[in-house]
Structures are given as structure tokens and as C-alpha cells.
């Protein structure tokens, strides 16, 4: 970061949500002042049950020692959004959470190490690797395409199937389940990151903020509520996305959201378009590495608070974690 600032080079962290039409619209509503002074914020990162198992139990982000705490891996985007949306920055925070469900103690001794080894509860298990990666049980759109006309999708060229193999035929996926990490029973993995965590934050503006992250949602989406002195905003980022303003006094306003497309609600395309425009000198970057640093510091501080059972003073944490760096705004 220091080098990029000294040399005038562009360094951007891929906080793609800032570039999604949904989040841009939400930011515009908050900046308009229609809610009045923001008093409380509730922000939820609802990770779908199968996504939790794929990425944070079987997958690359299952162990803190080889990746990061889950609050950073999954919620640095959410921390960045909160930092972007609210004036000032976090003054202090506390956190609780644990690995509650995905442990050997959650099942009996008869459950094998792999889903392909004749598991007696495979058909009823929500996390069955056979059900997720071969039968598409959580993916209704794939099942709908395969069932009516009898068409079998041999190569679902998309995530999460491409994580198993670059040529995701049925045979290759089955082999990956038999020999690789994706076929392991979720109760017999070497995972140690949390499956739920809550972070309570006090903002310098006076607002109180609660972030909830968990991996037991029926569907993948983020939901949020901003309570101000003049109105309450309720919003959902998923399928579908929606933003509504509930004015004090009774009227309700639905906020139109531009078409977003796929890839983090259009954020993937948006950040690439912005980055190219910045390199061409057509505009200033929407955010900077220095701004992005703050969300990472907040995430690491949240994990420290969770492990220590203490309230972390963010000014002190910033000075200790990055003594030569003052992240973001005062």
C-alpha cells in the first residue's frame, strides 16, 4: 500500500459489493438523509447451508491456520460496506461465536469418513456430497433442467462444481468425491473455523451496529435494517433484491434497483469496468487499498475479541496491528 501511494500506482482490493447496483442504490439512499440520523444497524450475512459446507467445512477456507478466520474470509466485504455506508468508523467492538454443528460429536460412530462409503443417512443428510455435487439437491434450477425432458447436464461449468474438477463430468465429479476433500463427511473434516459469529460495534457517529454471520441459512442472501430518526430501511441482497423505506408516520416507499446481472449482483463486472477506467485515467477509483485496510482490521479485531472475550478498542488495535498505517478516515 505504501509503495503504491509513493509511486502513484493503482492498487485496489476486490471489494466488489461497492460496484453492485444494489449497494450503490443503498448508499445513495443513506447519503440522501431520508432516514435522518442513523441510530442502529443490523446486517446479516446469511450463508447457505451447502455453501458453508463447501467452502468452510470441506473447502479451502476451513482452517484458520491455512486461510483466515471466517469473519475475514466471508465478511470483509460486509465490514467494508458498513464502513462505506456510515460516517466515521468503528470505535470499539466485541464478538461471540463458535463452531457449533460441524463436529464429530454431532453424529454417531456409524457414520463413515466419506459420503461415498455407504453412509446410512446419505439420503436424508442435507450436506451429502452425493446430493450436492452429483444429484444437485440444493440447486433447483439444475434439477429443473435435467428432469422434464430427460436432459442430463453432464458438465455444469460453474461454481461450485468447477472446484472439484476442471472437467466436471459426472464421472470426474464422482472420482473427486471418492479421492478428494469434497467427498468427506462434514462431521469428519479437519475444519476449525466458526459456523456462526456475531459482532457488536460502536461507531464514532454514535450508531450501534450488529453484524451476524452464520452458515445455516436456507438460502444465500444478505439482509439488513437501518433505523434512523426519521425512517427505517429494510433491505435484502439476493434473489430477489429489494430496498424499502418505512417512513415514521406510516408511508412505505419501495426503492427501484437497476438491473444488476450476475456475479455478486453485478459487482464483478462493475469493478473491472471501474479498474480499466482508472488505468485509462478516465476517473478516480471508487475505493483504495487504504480504505480497504479498515475492513480487514475490523475483521481481525472481531476475531481477537471472540477469542479473548474482551471489548477491543479499535484505535489501540489499529496502532498495534499497523503502527505505520492509519487506515481510512478519522
Per-residue burial over 46-85, b if 16 or more Cβ lie within 10 Å, else e, is bbbbbbbbbbbbbbebbebeebbbbbbbbbbbbbbbbbbb
- Contact between 223 and 41 under an 8 Å Cβ cutoff? The reply is no
pLDDT at 291: 83
Whole-angstrom distance, CA of residue 229 vs CA of residue 36:
5
My answer on whether omega of the bond before 65 falls inside 30° of 0, hence cis, is no
Whole-angstrom distance, CA of residue 131 vs CA of residue 129:
5
Annotation: CATH topology of 2-44+69-102+216-321 = Dihydrodipicolinate Reductase; domain 2 (3.30.360)
SS (H, E, C) 105-160: HHCCCCCCCECCCCCCCCCCCCCCHHHHHHCCCCCHHHHHHHCCCCCCCCCCCCCC
Given a cut of 50, the residues of the chain with pLDDT beneath it are 147-151
Task: Determine how β-strand 208-217 pairs with β-strand 252-254.
Answer: unpaired
Give the up-direction half-sphere exposure of residue 63: CA atoms within 13 A in the CB hemisphere.
6
Q: Which three cell numbers stand for residue 295?
A: 475492513
Residues 6+ apart with CB under 8 A from 203: 86, 88, 89, 90, 91, 209
- Contact between 318 and 324 under an 8 Å Cβ cutoff? The reply is no
Express the helix, strand and coil content of the chain in percent, nearest 5 each. 35, 20, 45
- Contact between 243 and 255 under an 8 Å Cβ cutoff? The reply is yes
Q: Which three cell numbers stand for residue 278?
A: 482508472
Whole-angstrom distance, CA of residue 315 vs CA of residue 63:
28
pLDDT at 289: 74
Residue 219 region by backbone torsions, left for phi larger than 0, else alpha for psi between -120 and 50, else beta:
beta
pLDDT at 150: 43
pLDDT digit string (tens) for 258-306? 876 655 556 567 667 777 776 777 777 767 778 889 999 999 999 999 9
Where in the chain is CATH 3.30.360.10?
A: 2-44+69-102+216-321
Task: Give the angle 156-222-93 at the CA atoms, nearest 5°.
Answer: 130
pLDDT at 148: 46
pLDDT at 231: 99
pLDDT at 323: 64
pLDDT at 146: 52
Amino acid at each position: 500500500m505504501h509503495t503504491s501511494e509513493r509511486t502513484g500506482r493503482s492498487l485496489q482490493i476486490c471489494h466488489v459489493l461497492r460496484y453492485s447496483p444494489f449497494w450503490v442504490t443503498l448508499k445513495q439512499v443513506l447519503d440522501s438523509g431520508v432516514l435522518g440520523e442513523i441510530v442502529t444497524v443490523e446486517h446479516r450475512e446469511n450463508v447457505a447451508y451447502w455453501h458453508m459446507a463447501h467452502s468452510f467445512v470441506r473447502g479451502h477456507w476451513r482452517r484458520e491456520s491455512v486461510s483466515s478466520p471466517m469473519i475475514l474470509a466471508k465478511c470483509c466485504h460486509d465490514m467494508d460496506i458498513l464502513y462505506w455506508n456510515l460516517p466515521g468508523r468503528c470505535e470499539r467492538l466485541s464478538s461471540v461465536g463458535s463452531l457449533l454443528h460441524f463436529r464429530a460429536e454431532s453424529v454417531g460412530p456409524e457414520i463413515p469418513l466419506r459420503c461415498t462409503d455407504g453412509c446410512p443417512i446419505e439420503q436424508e443428510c442435507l450436506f451429502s456430497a452425493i446430493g450436492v455435487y452429483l444429484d444437485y439437491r440444493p440447486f433447483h434450477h439444475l434439477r429443473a433442467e435435467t428432469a422434464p425432458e430427460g436432459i442430463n447436464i453432464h458438465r455444469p461449468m460453474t461454481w461450485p462444481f468447477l472446484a472439484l474438477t476442471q472437467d466436471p463430468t459426472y464421472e470426474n465429479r464422482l472420482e473427486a468425491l471418492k479421492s478428494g476433500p469434497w467427498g468427506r463427511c462434514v462431521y469428519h473434516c479437519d475444519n476449525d473455523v466458526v459456523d456462526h459469529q456475531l459482532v457488536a460495534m460502536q461507531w464514532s457517529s454514535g450508531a450501534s451496529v450488529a453484524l451476524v454471520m452464520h452458515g445455516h441459512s436456507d438460502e444465500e442472501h444478505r439482509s439488513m435494517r437501518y433505523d434512523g430518526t426519521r425512517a427505517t430501511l429494510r433491505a435484502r441482497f439476493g434473489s430477489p433484491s429489494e430496498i424499502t423505506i418505512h417512513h415514521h408516520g406510516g408511508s412505505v416507499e419501495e426503492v427501484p434497483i437497476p438491473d444488476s446481472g450476475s456475479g455478486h449482483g453485478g459487482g464483478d463486472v462493475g469493478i473491472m469496468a471501474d479498474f480499466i477506467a482508472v488505468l485509462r485515467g478516465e476517473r478516480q477509483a471508487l475505493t483504495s487499498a487504504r480504505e480497504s485496510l479498515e475492513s480487514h482490521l475490523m475483521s481481525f479485531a472481531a476475531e481477537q475479541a471472540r477469542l479473548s472475550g474482551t471489548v477491543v478498542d479499535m484505535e489501540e488495535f489499529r496502532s498495534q496491528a499497523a503502527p505505520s498505517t492509519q487506515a481510512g478516515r478519522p
